[in-house]
Every structure is written in structure tokens, then in C-alpha cells.
Amino acid sequence: MSEIFLSICVPMIFLDSYTAETILQSLKRGENEIEISIDLGLSESIIRLAEYKWDISKLRKIVEDPDTVYFINEEGVFKAAIRGKSFYKLMPAGKNKAPALLIDGVLMHRIKDIDPMKDARMKAKLCARKGSEMLEICTGLGYSTIACLDNAVSTITTIERDSDVIELARINPWSQRLFEDERVEMIIGDASEKIKMFSNKRFNGVLHDPPRFTLGPELYTEDFYEELYRVMKPKGVLYHYVGSPGSRYKKKDLPKGIMTRLRKVGFQRVQRKNDTLGVTGFKP
């Protein structure tokens, strides 16, 4: 099985370890058709097994690789992965759950006792109000964008610096509303620079979902927080994902430092949100 740039291929069937095992067992039983999800759990479909040329050895390899999403199209079987500036791939996060993103083996979503889409909905609930104009920093696979849309926001502008992540989102069934909903404006570029093009007091809410500090330190600075404050309307709410860095930062309390800087630039009622591993703040 090979890895290819996904913009070249249009996927037809998505497989993970569970669905591959289900197909294998159906083939062994000699069944003609099977009801199964071919879009990673978004829906169930009845497929006629005889219409596809199943490679038993490849199905078995997928079964033995529970940490990777695959897709089948007219050209063969491929990992849902891109090798660009880094190595990006979709990773199953559970049966009928939105897949997680891995970059160079580093997990970009929470999947322990939660799934990526549920986590996104919890974050959006804290800052995305009905009818609001939203700004999102770091699009990723678009789950938080979609969660904000589900909260009936008026518009959402989302910034992502890594075009390879967006290309991977294009193939992900769970990310399609990111590209289909007219309320979404997507900007590719460095958020610390792109934010300067927005006018003062433009957004009702901000969902700031940066990568870990070591991968994007510019998104944790007082200067960047000043920009977030500037583009927010009075009574606007900020959600800032922090994560749980622990001892990686020499026992420094990263959330405490973030909260101090947010208060310094003007945010009020700044508080931790332990269930989402983040903090919130309000612009008076």
C-alpha cells in the first residue's frame, strides 16, 4: 500500500481496522452485500461486495494497523496521509468517531475518554453564540469550525498556516462542511500576521486553538493577545486551548502565565476550563 498526495485521488471507500475486519468476515461467510459505514461512521451504506475487487492480504494489513485510516478508489488502496513538510495522517479515534490528526507522530486531538468532535463541541459552546461573527485561530481538520456552525453562528473566519493540513481535511469525510458551508471564510497563512488585516471590534467571539507551545510560541505572546483583544467586540468571549503540558515546560504553570498575559491586555473574568483544558476571557 502506498502513500500519495491526496489531491490526486478521489476516495470512494474509507476503511479502518474495524471496517476492514467486518468486510473480511462477510467475505468469509460468502455474503453478497453488507451494511457498513464507508465514510468513517458518518452514515451507514449497503454495498454489494461483488462490485469490488477485494485484496484479502491488504484488508488483513489494514486490520493489523488500527492507528491509520485508509481509502480505496479506482487506483488502489492508500493511507489517508500526506508527506510534505512533515508527515500527516488521519488516525481512527474510535468506532464511528471523527478521526484525529497526527503530524510527525504527534497527536493533535484529544482522544482519551473523549473524541475529537465532542471536544470541539465543548470548546465551541464556551465562545460561539447564535448569530455571532467568529474568528478561529488554527483550523486543523475543521472540527471546531463545524461545531461553531452547529451553534448557529452568522459567520466564522478561520486561519490555518499549514496547507497540507487543509489538503488532508479535504479528503476527511468529517471535514466536508468546512468547505461547503458559505458561512466559512478560510485563510491560509500565519495567524500572527493575518490577524493584523482585520478591523477593530470585528468579531463577537474567538476560538483560539493553537498547537503546543513549542510548535507555535508566537500564538502565546502578549503581542498576539493584544491583537485578539483588538479585533473583538465589547462583551465578546475568548476561548483559548492550552492543553496539559505538565513537566515538559520545566514545571512552569503555562495556563497561569497565559491568564496573566490575557488580563494584562485587557481581558476580564479570565478563568480555567479544566474540562476542555483551556481558559476563557471576556472583553468588557
Tell me the backbone φ, ψ of residue 281, rounded to 5 degrees: -150, 155
Q: Which three cell numbers stand for residue 99?
A: 478521526
Instruction: Provide mean pLDDT across the span 57-72.
Output: 95
**pLDDT over 80 at 246, yes or no:** no
User: In whole numbers, what is the pLDDT of the chain averaged over residues?
Assistant: 93
Cα 117 to Cα 69: distance, rounded to the nearest angstrom: 17
- The CATH superfamily of 116-282 is Vaccinia Virus protein VP39 (3.40.50.150)
- pLDDT tier, 250 (very low <50, low <70, confident <90, very high otherwise): low
Over residues 164-191, mean pLDDT: 98
Percent of the chain with pLDDT over 70: 94
At residue 5, the 3 state secondary structure works out as coil
Residue 9 has pLDDT above 50, yes or no: no
**Would the pLDDT of 6 be above 80?**
no
Q: Is the per-residue pLDDT at 102 higher than 60? A: yes
Taking only the tens place, the pLDDT of each residue in 27-63 is: 999 999 999 999 999 999 998 998 888 889 999 999 9
Higher pLDDT, 43 or 4: 43
Predicted confidence (pLDDT) per residue in 134-145, tens digit: 999 999 999 999
| Model confidence pLDDT, tens digit, residues 76-95 | 889 999 999 999 999 999 99
Per-residue model confidence (pLDDT) at position 5: 35
- The CA distance from 240 to 71, in Å, is 34
Q: What is the DSSP string of 107-174?
A: E-S--TTS-HHHHHHHHHHHH--TT-EEEEE--TTSHHHHHHHHTT-SEEEEEES-HHHHHHHHH-GG
* Integer angstrom CA distances of residue 27 from 41, 48, 53, 81: 21, 11, 11, 27
Q: Which of 108-112, 227-231, 243-247 has the highest mean pLDDT?
A: 227-231
The DSSP element (H or E) to which 81 belongs, if any, is strand 81-83
Return the domain boundaries, the chain. Answer: 6-79, 116-282
Confidence of residue 252 (pLDDT cuts 50, 70, 90): confident
Mean pLDDT, range 140-167, rounded to an integer: 98
Residue 245 — very low, low, confident or very high, per pLDDT cuts 50/70/90?
low
Which element (helix H / strand E) includes 186? strand 184-188
pTM for the structure as a whole: 0.92
